[in-house]
Amino acid sequence: MRPTAAATPCGAAPSAGPGPAVIAPPVPADTSDAPTPRDPQPPEDRTAASPHDPAGELSVWPASARATAEGDVTVAGVSVTEAAERFGTPVYLLDENEVRQRCRAYLRAFPGADVAYAAKAFLCRAVAHWVREEGLGLDVCSAGELELAVTTGFPTDRVILHGNAKSPDDLGAALRLGVGRIVIDSPWEISRLAARIPEGTRRQVMVRIVPGVCAGGHTAVRTGTDDQKFGLSLTDGTAQHAVARILEQPKLELVGLHCHIGSQISTVKPYLSALRRTVGLLARIRDQYGVALPQLDLGGGHAVAYRPGERSLDIEALGSRVRAELTEACAAARLPVPRLTIEPGRGIIAQAGVAVYRVLAVKTTGTKILVAVDGGMSDNPRPALYGVRYAPRLVGRRSAEAPCRADVVGRHCEAGDVLAADVMMPGDVRPGDLVAVPVAGAYHLSMASGYNLVGRPPVVALTDGAARLLVRRESLADMNGRDIGL
C-alpha cells in the first residue's frame, strides 16, 4: 500500500519543479497550410462525447475506445482490464479496424498514388496481412522485415527496400525474392548491387536524395539535411553523380527519386519544399540525359498526436497540396507528372496501439511521486531516446482522489527509465493498478530490447469484441536458448 505521507503532496497542488525532457520544437512553418489538426478517421469518431471521459483523454486512443462507468476502457468492444488479466502485463493491444481505416484514409487522400506501409514502425505477420488486404505496398529496410512479409504471401513486387547501410544479406534477399524497387543510399551500393544481378536482367532502383529541408519533431529524426546519415546530397552534387553512374549500369533501371525528410512532421510546407527541389533534379536529369523518370517517392514522417491537444498532420490537406504542387511544378518544368509514392508508418499504426502495464510500486521522494510499472525502456525506449511525452491513464477502477503530478517509471536499472514524466495520476494510485499508455503502436515493440533479460511483451489484436494473440510474450526460455556456450 502507498504510504500515508504521500497523500499531502498528492492532494495539494505541487510545484511543477524542473520540467522534463521535451521534444525539440519543429522548424517554424507557415501554419496556414494545415489550419486544423485532424486525424484520418471521421471527426465524429474521435470526438464522441463521453460522460466518463470529461477531459477528452481518449481523443488520442483508437477511435473505438470508450470509457465505462467503472473506470475501465473498452477498445474495439474489448475491456482493457479483461485483456490485461487474460494475456498478462505488459501487453500491447492493437485495434485491427483502426489500422485498416487508416490505410483506407491514406488511399483516399492520395488517389492514384502508391501507399507503402513503413514496416519499421511495427511489423508482424498479421499487420503485413492487413495492409496487403487494404491495397498498400510495403517499405522494408532489412532482410528480416522482407522475409517476414514474404511468409504472409505479400507480393514482393509491391515491396520497396531501402536503408543507409544494406548488408549483403539484405541485397541478396531483395534480389532473390524480387522486390519491386531498391533505393540506392550510397555510391558503394551501385556497384555492389549491379555485381549481384544476373547477366541479361535488370532491377528497378531509385536514388534517395537529401533535399536540404529541415523538418521533424526531434534532431534525431530529421533526415532531410546534409548532417545526417541518410541519402545523397543535392548540395554537394553526390546525388547527381549517383544518377550518372546508375544510368551507365546496364543491369540497373533508374525509375525515380526517393526523399524522406524526417518524422513527426505536423505541417505540409516542408513536404512542398522537398517536392519542388526533387522535381528540380528530375528536370536536370531530363535535360542532361534525356530521361524522364516516372516515379517520385516522398517518404513518410507524418505526425500523430501523442497527448490530447497536440497537433497531427492533416493527411487530406497533405494529399491535396502535394498533388497540386506536383502537377504545377512538373508543368512549369515541362515534365510528365511522375507516379507518386508515400510511405506512412506511424500515421497508420501508432494510435491503433495501447500499452498496458501493472503498477509494482509507488513511492514519494521529496515532492515527486514515482509510479513504477512492470515494463519500461526495454519495451519503449522512445522517452529515453527522444524525450517523447505520453498521456497514461488508470484503467480498471474509478478513483475519487484528486489527481497529483507523478512520473510513471519503468523497472529497469537506469535512472533514465521513465515512461511518462510529470503527468497527472490519481492520488490513490497503488500497486496492482493498471496503467494504459495510448499511441503505442509505432516504434515501441519494433525498438524493444532484452535489457535486464526482461522478455518483450505480447501483441494482441482487438476486433469486433474479440481478442486474439498475434505475437506471444518472449519467455526466459527464449532468451536462455540463445546462450549456448560456457
Query: Cell 504472409, residue?
Result: 152
Residue 262, beta-bridge partner list: 222
Q: Which of 146, 152, 109, 115 is nearest to 130 (CA)?
A: 152
C-beta pairs of 128-135 under 8 Å, 24+ apart in sequence: 128/152, 128/154, 129/154, 130/96, 130/99, 130/100, 130/103, 131/99, 131/103, 131/348, 132/158, 133/100, 134/100, 134/103, 134/104, 134/107, 135/103, 135/107
Tell how many helices (H) and how many strands (E) occur in the chain: 14, 21
Give start and end residues of each alpha helix (H) in 28-90.
43-46, 80-87
Question: What is the phi/psi pair of residue 136, to 5°?
Answer: -90, 160
Binding site for pyridoxal 5'-phosphate, by residue number, is 301, 343-346, 443
- Residues 199 and 195: their CA atoms lie apart, in Å, by 9
- Contact assessment for residue 139 and residue 160, using Cβ atoms and an 8 Å cutoff: yes
- Residues 8 and 52: their CA atoms lie apart, in Å, by 26
Query: Cell 494475456, residue?
Result: 87
Write out the three cell numbers for 129: 496481412
Query: Cell 476486433, residue?
Result: 463
* 124 labelled catalytic: no
Binding site for substrate, by residue number, is 346, 382, 386, 414, 443
Return the ∠ at Cα 319 (arms to 316 and 322), rounded to 5°.
140
Binding site, by residue number, is 301, 343-346, 382, 386, 414, 443
- Residues 288 and 241: their CA atoms lie apart, in Å, by 12
For residues 434-451, b (16+ Cβ closer than 10 Å) or e, as one string? bbbbbbbbbbbbbbbeeb
- Residues 169 and 143: their CA atoms lie apart, in Å, by 6
DSSP letter, residue 262: B
| CA 201 vs CA 104, 204, 243, 250, 293: distances in Å | 35, 10, 19, 9, 20
Task: Name every residue whose Cβ is closer than 8 Å to that of residue 177 and which is 6 or more positions away in sequence.
Answer: 146, 147, 150, 156, 159
Query: Residue 14: is the preceding peptide bond cis (ω within 30°)?
Result: no
Helix-helix angle 315-333:269-289, to 10 degrees: 30
3-class DSSP state for residue 79?
strand
- Active-site entry in 214, 259, 330, 413: 413
- Residues 461 and 244: their CA atoms lie apart, in Å, by 47
Instruction: Please give the positions annotated as active site.
Output: 413
